[in-house]
Amino acid sequence: MMSCNAPALDRVFLEIGPLSIYWYGVIIALGAFLGLYIATKESDRLGLQKDLMTDLVVFAIPVSIVFARMYYVFFEWDRYAGAPWWDVFAVWEGGIAIHGALIGAVLTAIVFARIKNVSFWQLADIAAPSLILGQAIGRWGNFMNQEAHGGPISESVFNSFHTYLPDFIMNQMCIGGVMYHPTFLYESVWNIVVFLFLLVLRRKNPLRGEVFLSYVMAYSAGRFFVEGMRTDSLYIPGTDIRMAQFISVALIAVMIAIIIYRRKSGKARTRYDGRKTKKNKK
């Protein structure tokens, strides 16, 4: 275990009178807006109705935040049961779960697609690169809160890190005099790799739905390994099984099953850009 002594960065971005705006919220918002910009550009390129993705995000973001917080609080109920009731809503302190956010976003998109009479799979494919990019950026909100980190590092690992990690990351990972693994960084880098992979994949014009399904599988694969290093995991009640790892494995299996089912049943008749497959051309 490597000891250290470094000051932490200020978690507050801006103070206006009694109001404090935290870096956590600013970074999450930045990821959301950049993701929306990319999704809107792609939606326009595909010729979808103007402002379709903006309208979706207006509903999806608040629903996703609520679901993300509900998911986290549910698995950390012992922590909140004895705390003031308003702590449940203190998302600026951290404590939102990406799997909860995805549940909220998918449910919102399904309802939205039915109301707008558009393909859910098309919306999901367009949104997938934006989602993973938003997650990559959002992990830096965890960095500012000094959360979502791994266990203590050894002196040899510290010396290795010190050669290529900037001081501000090393200093922020010095918590209570102990240096911890920057697992937020590991996941952020993995998410950037997945983002680039999805951009390449959609240029190949895959079957509709498979950009989104690939996003879920690729993210889950990385999350499974990173989660095993974290010290703040949510656990399935009464077990030593990390919830995020269990969900990651389940999601990979389910996504593979959906791809096989859609292909074999003939439901995957359309390419990403809307063109029919040769098999289904009339």
Is position 4 within any domain?
no
Is position 65 within any domain?
yes
- The token pair that represents 175 in the structure block: 């918590």
Is position 145 within any domain?
yes
Is position 81 within any domain?
yes
DSSP string, 76-98: THHHHHTS-GGGGG-GGG----H
pLDDT value of residue 135: 96
Q: 142 pLDDT exceeds 80?
A: yes
Q: What is the mean pLDDT of the chain?
A: 91
Instruction: Kindly report, residue by residue over 193-231, the tens digit of the pLDDT.
Output: 999 999 999 999 999 999 999 999 999 999 999 999 999
- Give dist(CA 142, CA 28) in Å, integer: 10
Q: 159 pLDDT exceeds 90?
A: no
Residue 178 β-bridge partners? 3, 175
Is position 87 within any domain?
yes
Residue 175 β-bridge partners? 178
pLDDT value of residue 280: 56
- Least confident among 5-9, 80-84, 154-158: 80-84
Which residue segment(s) compose the domain that 127 sits in? 12-280
pLDDT value of residue 234: 87
In the chain, pLDDT over 70 holds for what percent of residues? Answer: 95
Closest C-alpha to 272, from 56, 43, 29, 101: 43
Instruction: Kindly report, residue by residue over 26-48, the tens digit of the pLDDT.
Output: 999 999 999 999 999 999 999 99
- Give dist(CA 155, CA 119) in Å, integer: 53
The total domain count for the chain is 1
Q: 186 pLDDT exceeds 90?
A: yes
**Higher-confidence residue: 24 or 108?**
108
Q: 91 pLDDT exceeds 70?
A: no
Is position 7 within any domain?
no
- Give dist(CA 243, CA 236) in Å, integer: 5
Task: Specify the length of the chain in residues.
Answer: 282
**Higher-confidence residue: 73 or 149?**
149
Instruction: Kindly report, residue by residue over 251-265, the tens digit of the pLDDT.
Output: 999 999 999 999 999
pLDDT value of residue 50: 87
pLDDT value of residue 276: 84
The pTM of the whole model exceeds 0.85: yes
CA 12 to chain centre: 23
pLDDT value of residue 265: 93
Is position 5 within any domain?
no
Q: Give, in order, the Cα–Cα distances in Å from 62 to each of 25, 59, 153.
A: 13, 6, 37
Is position 264 within any domain?
yes
What distance, in Å, lies between the first and last C-alpha atoms of the chain? 66
pLDDT value of residue 94: 59
